[in-house]
Structure 1
Amino acid sequence: MKPLRRHLSWIALAALAGVSSAPAADAITPREVIRLFNGKDLTGFITWERKHGRDDPDKVFSVVPQIDGAPAIRCSGQYFGGVITVDSYTNYRLIVEFRWGLLTWEPRLNRARDAGILLHCQGEPGNQTKNFDGAWMRSVEFQIIEGGIGDVILVNGYDRGNPQIIAPRLKTKVTPGTQRWNPDGVLAEFTRGRIDWLRRDPEWKDVLGFRGRGDNEKPLGEWNHLEAICDGGNITYFVNGEKAMEGWDGTFKEGRLLFQSEGAEIFYRRIELHPLQR
């Protein structure tokens, strides 16, 4: 069970955000398919921006009734932050479809389109920084960036009243001397930073529209299919059907999900949690 203080803070947060249901005291394990996005509105989510906190005066987060024939959550990218599930989840297979829009914003106006899905988010929004005014939460990220879809980023964070940073830990196999996942590599443990997906271009550049030689991302404007298998502390990422990343024995095993806005317009749809195949 989560500490009472954390649970109560989320009850208050949900109330302030206009969310009718308080978060569960324990993480939910899907027994059937859970559709996190209802296709109509942001019920079941709250929003968070580094600039405005729980407010969203510029409508960074919205639901579009139809794009390519179906509704989707739109994150404009104007401010860093995300839409965050009210409830926590564990032991699931996440399926998400995303596509980029055309808008980009400073400070990433001419840089690679960037976003991500933060898994196992713990604590309160903004806890990436000691002042709790960051864009993110401590978590394990499924990176979505041009040229790097399928990277892992371990996001450190804080708890109120505790000055010590809290770091997720994850083991994986990498090519010696690198941070690139390699199923035939050597075992290493990480507590922060990025682990590159299997075929990330070593000459990757942070420029708008970047495409690596081995990328499996669809062309701009097409939908990409992502899967994340979260089984206890183990994770496996798939991008358009290709296995991109695998990690084991992670210390973060449950939490909320955060879908990022990070300088580039992005649309998310078919956000589903499936039971694991045992």
Structure 2
Amino acid sequence: MNFPLKMMVCIFLILPQLIEAQSTINLFNKKNLDGWYAYQVESGKHKHASDLFNVEHHIIRLYGKNAGYLMSEQSFSNFKLTVTFRWNIDPSVIRKSDKKNSGVMYLVPFEAPDMLWPKGIQFQIKEGATGDFILLQDTTLKINGTRTEPGRSVVSKRFEDASKPIGKWNTMVVTVSNGIVTQELNGKLVNKGVEPSITEGRILLQYEGYPIDFKKVVVRRLKP
């Protein structure tokens, strides 16, 4: 094999990996909360997210006396979002509530005002309900051939319960691709809809009162 041909083979083998690397975005760098801002009703928007929430041992730790969230500065359409999470059951951590309730929102428009909770779709993380769709602030989705009614907070229940025991790490995957929205939990499809009323938006990590940890937040852009 001559040298130019070897080079062409190497490029052919490496190019797909380079393209995938360029399309993959680690929203959490394991060090700090760069790329996010934080919000609570009591103190409003914080450009420096570390004013409200912490990174400890390469983990995002959401806890405290007030509910709030982290919001990504970047917006996405046609993507696959992978998040790992677990409940923080350390009794010494400050909490607002003993009710295990949280979520990861996506497709939150730039123009949506900060509030609890803004417009978009939520992957519900809640004891006994993880994997439900929560459609917020008049967001709609067609599920099983029927479009949901607009409302402040509309629930479409998961197909099955795929949660791991409390305190264990779970992996959720949300895919938004060409009008199809799927939610997976620990390798199982738990919800699906089509034709969302929003097609682009930001990512949001919720703290509703019970401490929760996030270890991985990765977005892979998909071709339209």
Using the size of structure 2 for normalisation, the TM-score is 0.80
Give 1:118-133 correspondences, 5 Å limit.
118-122=105-109, 123-126=111-114
- Other structure's SS at 2:184 match: strand
Give 1:216-227 correspondences, 5 Å limit.
216-227=162-173
2:175 matched residue in structure 1: 229
Distance 1:219 1:104, change over 3 A: farther
Distance 2:94 2:182 in 1: 29
- Specify which structure has the higher proportion of helix: 2
Using the size of structure 1 for normalisation, the TM-score is 0.65
- Other structure's SS at 1:137 match: coil
Q: What is the Cα deviation at residue 50 of structure 1?
A: 1.7
Q: What is the Cα deviation at residue 276 of structure 1?
A: 3.0
1:264 matched residue in structure 2: 210
CA contact (8 A) 2:141 2:194 kept: yes
| Structure 1 residue 99 corresponds to structure 2 residue 45 | no
Distance 1:82 1:62, change over 3 A: same
Q: What is the Cα deviation at residue 150 of structure 1?
A: 0.8
1:83 matched residue in structure 2: 70
CA contact (8 A) 2:120 2:136 kept: yes
Q: What is the Cα deviation at residue 61 of structure 1?
A: 1.1
Any unmatched runs of 5+ in structure 2? 1-20
2:142 to 158, 171, 189: 171
Any unmatched runs of 5+ in structure 1? 1-29, 127-133, 157-166, 174-186, 200-214
| Structure 1 residue 197 corresponds to structure 2 residue 178 | no
Q: CA RMSD in A?
A: 2.2
- Other structure's SS at 1:63 match: strand
Q: What is the Cα deviation at residue 277 of structure 1?
A: 7.1
2:23 matched residue in structure 1: 32
Q: What is the Cα deviation at residue 60 of structure 1?
A: 4.1
Q: What is the Cα deviation at residue 72 of structure 1?
A: 1.2
Moved over 6 A (4+): none
1:62 to 54, 60, 83: 54
